[in-house]
């Protein structure tokens, strides 16, 4: 089947059949399609779109382009959660052990930071000794024994997607709903899941900046996942402000530990974690409804069972046995910690969340190019949230910097990224869960 004829069909607005899509994915995998041809089809799909049936065919073909995990004889449901990416989003780190403590099995294959958003794998690598690249047999054993393991993406799962995404990234065709859908779901289906909870971030710190785009993406993911045989629920959640109190790799691990131990649970972070995890329990048949699921998850937190699962996972993947008791002994700390003072009294009304995420990247907490080394120490803590009343000079957050010059730059940039309304102004934050799809 000629590549140029498949490109021509999509260019002219026709739906591609399963054979044409399989030919394209085979060409991605074996290199028989050139970069120019891959780019041309990506642009044709970007401009002409794809129907649900086409997206299902593409998802399934990319899923089968590499190894597909099998979870035979599992005593409980195999479940996962995926986020479209946000600033301060450490939900995966808390959610996986919570669901495992409730009887689910979570083989979570997470990503690194992308653009202004942080990556779960980068955060975990702030833990000394933690390996995010175990061999498949070790990963399988840990999931079966503990109920959860969080690792990095492997090259043998959906390799066609890896090549296609790299081409889309440099040809301005990333923002295609059917292609985003197929990219996410091909990897999740290759992980052998039985249920998926999808977190579509929406707002000025999210990839989906508008509710309409977030809803379109959520509906596409739920429909295509269903067509491919994967039970999925999608939550559209607010990303118009930093999620949680801390941003930065080591700082977010510290916040995760405090959360799981019940020492500090920022309300919006707690709500979105419970909401996403509850959908997983219901999909997996571990709870009759979301109310029962939330109660069970809260019990896993209150009893210490979720914290114990996280501690066991860390040890199983090479991390320290007493991380939960002595995080400060292991997590790298920045040499300079400075308050970011509010320039005047007022009520925090808005955040330029994307700018804050990019600020972390500029500090070295993320990557400009793939080869960049991460500075796990840097970031922000004690972040004040929308609706908070501040006196002049009161900290908006604390910056954890590599040196004094960096701290000064971050203080000025952060002050420019937030807006203070007049004192006494009533400011109501957006609800953290904006909509549930599926």
**In order along the chain (438 residues), what is the average pLDDT of each group of 10 residues?**
97 97 97 96 97 96 95 95 93 98 96 78 96 94 97 89 89 90 93 96 92 95 95 97 97 98 97 98 98 98 98 98 97 98 98 95 84 91 98 98 98 98 95 95
Residue among 29, 57, 59, 80 flagged as catalytic: 80
Does 352 qualify as catalytic in the annotation?
A: no
- Tokens at 305, concatenated: 């069972």
Does 14 qualify as catalytic in the annotation?
A: no
pLDDT for 372: 80
Residues 6+ apart with CB under 8 A from 135: none
Residues 6+ apart with CB under 8 A from 199: 81, 82, 83, 84, 91, 234, 235, 237, 272, 276
Residue among 59, 120, 197, 256 flagged as catalytic: 120
Q: Are 286 and 197 in contact (CB under 8 A)?
A: no
Ordered structural domains, the chain, with CATH: 3-49 (1.20.970.10), 79-316 (3.40.1030.10), 332-421 (3.90.1170.30)
Residue among 10, 90, 168, 377 flagged as catalytic: 168
Q: H-helix or E-strand containing 182?
A: helix 177-190
Residue among 10, 57, 60, 82 flagged as catalytic: 82
Q: Are 21 and 153 in contact (CB under 8 A)?
A: no
Torsion of CA 325, 326, 328, 332, to 10 degrees: -110
Residue among 81, 90, 296, 377 flagged as catalytic: 81
Helices (H), 242-393: 249-260, 267-283, 290-302, 305-316, 353-360
Which of 53, 67, 65, 68 is closest to 18 using CA atoms?
53
Residue among 90, 116, 123, 188 flagged as catalytic: 188
Does 83 qualify as catalytic in the annotation?
A: yes
Does 188 qualify as catalytic in the annotation?
A: yes
Does 131 qualify as catalytic in the annotation?
A: no
- Tokens at 299, concatenated: 């019990």
Measured distance CA(143)–CA(369) in Å, rounded: 32
- Tokens at 91, concatenated: 């939900």
Residue among 10, 116, 163, 187 flagged as catalytic: 187
Instruction: Write phi, then psi, for 435 (nearest 5 degrees).
Output: -165, 150
| Residue 295: C-alpha distances to residues 48, 49, 200, 274, 299 (Å) | 46, 42, 24, 9, 6
Does 183 qualify as catalytic in the annotation?
A: yes
pLDDT for 110: 87
Does 120 qualify as catalytic in the annotation?
A: yes
pLDDT for 370: 67
Residues forming a β-bridge with 82: 198
pLDDT for 174: 82
């Amino acid at each position: 089947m000629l590549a140029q004829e498949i490109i021509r069909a999509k260019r002219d607005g026709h739906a591609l059949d399963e054979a044409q899509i399989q030919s394209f994915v085979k060409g991605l995998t074996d290199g028989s399609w050139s970069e120019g041809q891959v780019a041309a089809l990506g642009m044709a799909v970007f401009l002409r779109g794809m129907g649900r049936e086409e997206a299902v065919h593409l998802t399934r073909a990319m899923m089968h382009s590499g190894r597909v995990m099998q979870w035979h004889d599992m005593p409980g449901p195999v479940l996962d959660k995926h986020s479209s990416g946000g600033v301060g989003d450490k939900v995966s780190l808390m959610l996986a052990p919570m669901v495992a403590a409730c009887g689910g099995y979570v083989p979570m294959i997470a990503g690194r930071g992308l653009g202004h958003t942080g990556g779960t794998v980068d955060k975990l690598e702030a833990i000394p000794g933690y390996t995010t690249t175990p061999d498949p047999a070790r990963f399988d054993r840990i999931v079966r024994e503990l109920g959860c393991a969080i690792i990095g993406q492997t090259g043998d799962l959906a390799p066609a997607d890896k090549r296609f995404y790299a081409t889309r990234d440099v040809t301005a065709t990333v923002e295609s709903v059917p292609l985003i859908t197929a990219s996410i779901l091909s990897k999740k289906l290759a992980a052998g899941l039985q249920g998926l909870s999808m977190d579509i971030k929406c707002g000025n710190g999210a990839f989906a900046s508008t509710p309409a785009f977030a809803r379109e993406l959520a509906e596409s993911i739920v429909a295509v996942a269903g067509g491919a045989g994967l039970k999925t629920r999608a939550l559209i959640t607010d990303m118009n402000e930093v999620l949680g109190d801390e941003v930065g790799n080591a700082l977010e691990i510290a916040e995760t530990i405090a959360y799981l131990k019940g020492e500090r649970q920022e309300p919006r972070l707690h709500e979105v974690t419970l909401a996403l995890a509850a959908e997983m329990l219901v999909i997996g048949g571990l709870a009759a409804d979301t109310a029962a699921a939330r109660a069970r998850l809260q019990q896993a937190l209150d009893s210490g069972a979720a914290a114990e699962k996280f501690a066991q996972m860390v040890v199983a993947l090479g991390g320290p046995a007493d991380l939960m008791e002595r995080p400060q002994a292991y997590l790298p700390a920045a040499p300079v910690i400075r308050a970011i003072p509010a320039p005047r009294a007022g009520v925090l009304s808005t955040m330029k969340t994307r700018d804050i995420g990019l600020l972390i990247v500029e500090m070295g907490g993320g990557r400009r190019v793939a080869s960049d080394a991460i500075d796990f120490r840097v970031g922000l803590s004690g972040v004040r949230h929308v609706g908070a009343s501040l006196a002049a000079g009161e900290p908006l957050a604390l910056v954890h910097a590599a040196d004094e010059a960096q701290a000064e730059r971050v203080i000025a940039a952060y002050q420019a990224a937030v807006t203070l309304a007049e004192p006494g102004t009533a400011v109501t934050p957006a609800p953290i869960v904006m909509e549930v799809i599926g």
